[in-house]
Amino acid sequence: MSATKHSSPPPSPGTVLISEDALQHRVAELAVEVSAALPDREPILVGLLTGSFVFVADLGRELSRLGVHPQIEFIETTHYGAGRRPTGRVELRRPLQRDVRGRAVLLVDDILDSGRSLTKAMEHASEREPAWLRSCVLLDKTARREVPIRADHVGFQIPDSWVIGYGLDDDGRYRELPHVARLR
Ligand code: IMP
Ligand code: MG
């Protein structure tokens, strides 16, 4: 079987907001920004499950090209209680497994929306006393913010609409898409 590179995006619902090429380019730029800010070459990248898994993978590989060799782990927050409707309260479902005391920690998420998830994650990481703690999000829907938080590194500012692809889902679907699309 021959390995071929597919250049045309697969069919998907919605309209493409950020192409695969634009994502690759911006993630490489973000890696340069993050690398310049990091106090050492062996940080801990902490992704927020589940949406960040693609971004963490790509950012990690771009960082390795720059001589940064992170340890990588994931935590999980959820702002859904027992039902499907957001409660406004964010819970920590999976905490940090690794000792981050005295280390450089970069929290990585797919999108900053109300800001509650990243706020919770930053508080949690901060309690573990890292030497350095910053955040990096691929997308930022500033218009939707409910708590005052800014990410230290932001890939793209986007308007207020539901987006899918590159890790982002609609009820668990479309995370595998190589681009980011606006669902409706
Ligand atoms: P926040 O706590 O409201 O900032 O929520 C951030 C989380 O909500 C992200 O990590 C995503 O998992 C999810 N989210 C917010 N907006 C979208 C979207 O447009 N598409 C997919 N997931 C989203
Ligand atoms: Mg998420």
What's the pLDDT score for residue 88?
Answer: 79
Compute the C-alpha angle 180/94/112, nearest 5°: 35
Which ligand has its closest atom nearest to the C-alpha of 118? 1
What's the pLDDT score for residue 102?
Answer: 98
Residues 6+ apart with CB under 8 A from 27: 55, 58, 59, 62, 138, 155
For 65-110, the pLDDT digits (tens) are: 999 999 999 999 987 654 545 667 899 999 999 999 999 999 999 9
113 among known catalytic residues: yes
99, 113, 140, 170: the catalytic one is: 113
CB 71 within 8 A of CB 44: yes
Listed in order, strand segments (DSSP E) in 57-145 are: 71-80, 86-94, 104-112, 132-140
Q: What pTM was estimated for this model as a whole?
A: 0.92
For 27-41, the pLDDT digits (tens) are: 999 999 999 999 999
Compute the C-alpha angle 115/59/2, nearest 5°: 130
| 17/150 Cα distance (integer angstroms) | 22
What's the pLDDT score for residue 81?
Answer: 52
Ligand 1 atom 13: the closest Cα is on which residue?
111
The Å distance, Cα 136 to ligand 1 centre, comes to 14
State yes or no: pLDDT of 174 exceeds 70. Answer: yes
State both tokens at 171: 């009820």
Provide the sign of the torsion angle of the four alpha carbons 31, 37, 39, 44, taken in this order.
negative
